[in-house]
Amino acid sequence: MINSSLRIALRGLSSMVWESTFESVASKKAPNAQSLLLSRRHSLPSLQLHSSATSMMRVGGVRMSTFSADRGGPPLTSSTSSSASPVFPTYVPSSPQRKSGSGDVSPEIHEDMEDLFVEIRKELQGRDPELCKVAEYYFDGQGKAIRPMIAIIMARAINAHLQGSSQSFLLPQQKKLALVTEMIHTATLVHDDVIDRSNKRRGKPSVNALFGERRTIVGGDYVLAKAGAMVARLNSDEVTEILAQVLEDLVHGEFMQMDSSGDNSERFAHYIGKTFNKTASLMAYSCKGVAILGGSDDSLAEKAFQYGKHLGIAFQLVDDLLDFVSSTAEMGKPVAADLQLGLATAPVLFAAQKFPELNPLIERRFSEPDDVAKALELVKKSDGLEETKILAQRYCSEAVRYANFLKPSVYRDDLVLLTEKVVNRTK
């Protein structure tokens, strides 16, 4: 079943070589202070994790202030009640033009986005009405559509930067690539639901629950095939290559998620690498793709990539945090769904530093009767949720640093605002 669900993504990628390597986590210096040497490709260099307000981090050889539990809001509550919701600090990015909390993204972005799902459904039209029905199921406008929004905002910010104007435009090719990002993401959701045997997504029956596994797999393959055709029509070999890299990363990320091997010292590096592959790669390469289509040189395209990478990792960190604190109604899936799937995400890995008894549960993927309940209890007793939020804030601060390489424009401010929205979201 797994090979069937991934075969389209694997097809044509056999000549590519997996190049990412993951370094071991350094020895602990204190119960709540761990030096992480993460993958060069995915991490903040020599990232120090502390809960103190005066903690510092070194990024690219420069010391930078980091966010802490008591900066910008009240600290995490220490209540052990299972019904208590932790209160996290509000993330406030630095923006040269727009103040934090100033509202929504620019009106032009909403105009760019308003027909997004209509255009995707048009692209998915084909010979078989039943196949199209399966393929279109998740394109109902209920998703967050964060990936095409990131691509569109980056495109406008890049175009404004290159044109030397505070105003901007969106090229048709850039808009098409934004559509492709949502199509690839949704195809992975379709295949994930089959692999995980999910019966619910976004508060409604999952596509596999409605149409069956075989039709769902073919429907996901069809979405990927249509997305591939759209990429080919962009007439850019470089963009075609980086979108192929996204597919390779997605496949590797899925296999990394299935792998529960590795000792305690390697788990966090493995987790960050998996997070890049499954989530951040698509955001990073779509930002790079729209930059290339806008005429960027290699240096500018790389800055766009770095923005998307850091924002994407932060997005997934927050998603993993919300799995523990949000209700089923808010998330559209059961609380602690990752634990039930046997997955140890950042909150669990941080909690294991305080409660080593979590390690055997992680190794057996929470497969014994009381494992999920015990892990949930220990995560809530630890600083795991707080540390996850702090780490997401740090990745967002790096995304802001890369955004600020662009010339001032309302769209650069939108990129900064996105980091605030990603970290402070509740669903």
Across 17-24, average pLDDT: 26
Sign of CA dihedral 117, 123, 125, 130: negative
Strands 204-205 and 33-36: unpaired
Distance CA 425, CA 427 (A): 6
Residues 264 and 36 sit within 8 Å (Cβ to Cβ)? no
Q: 0.85 cut: is pTM over it?
A: no
User: How sure is the predictor about 262, in pLDDT bands with cuts at 50, 70 and 90?
Assistant: low
pLDDT one-digit tens code per residue, 147-172 = 999 999 999 999 999 998 766 789 99
User: How sure is the predictor about 64, in pLDDT bands with cuts at 50, 70 and 90?
Assistant: very low
Distance CA 331, CA 234 (A): 35
Provide the 3-class DSSP secondary structure of residue 80: coil
Distance CA 425, CA 322 (A): 9
124-133, 135-144, 171-180: least confident range: 135-144
pLDDT greater than 70 at residue 54:
no
Residues 379 and 371 sit within 8 Å (Cβ to Cβ)? no
Across 27-52, average pLDDT: 35
Angle of helix 384-403 versus helix 371-381 axis, rounded to 10: 70
Q: What is the mean pLDDT of the chain?
A: 78
Q: How far does Cα 426 stand from its chain's mean position?
A: 15
Tell which CATH classification among 1.10.600.10, 3.40.50.720, 3.40.50.300, 3.40.50.620 matches the domain 2-424. 1.10.600.10
- As a 3-state breakdown, the chain gives helix, strand, coil percent values, each rounded to 5, of 60, 5, 35
By the 10 Å C-beta count (0-12 exposed, 13-18 middle, 19+ buried), 32 is classed as middle
Distance CA 158, CA 301 (A): 9
Distances in whole angstroms, Cα of residue 419 to Cα of each of 161, 171, 416, 427: 20, 24, 5, 15
Measure CA of the first residue to CA of the last residue in the chain; give whole Å: 30
Q: How far does Cα 300 stand from its chain's mean position?
A: 22
Cα angle 370-373-374, degrees, rounded to a multiple of 5: 80
Q: Which residue has the higher pLDDT, 197 or 321?
A: 321
Distance CA 241, CA 350 (A): 36
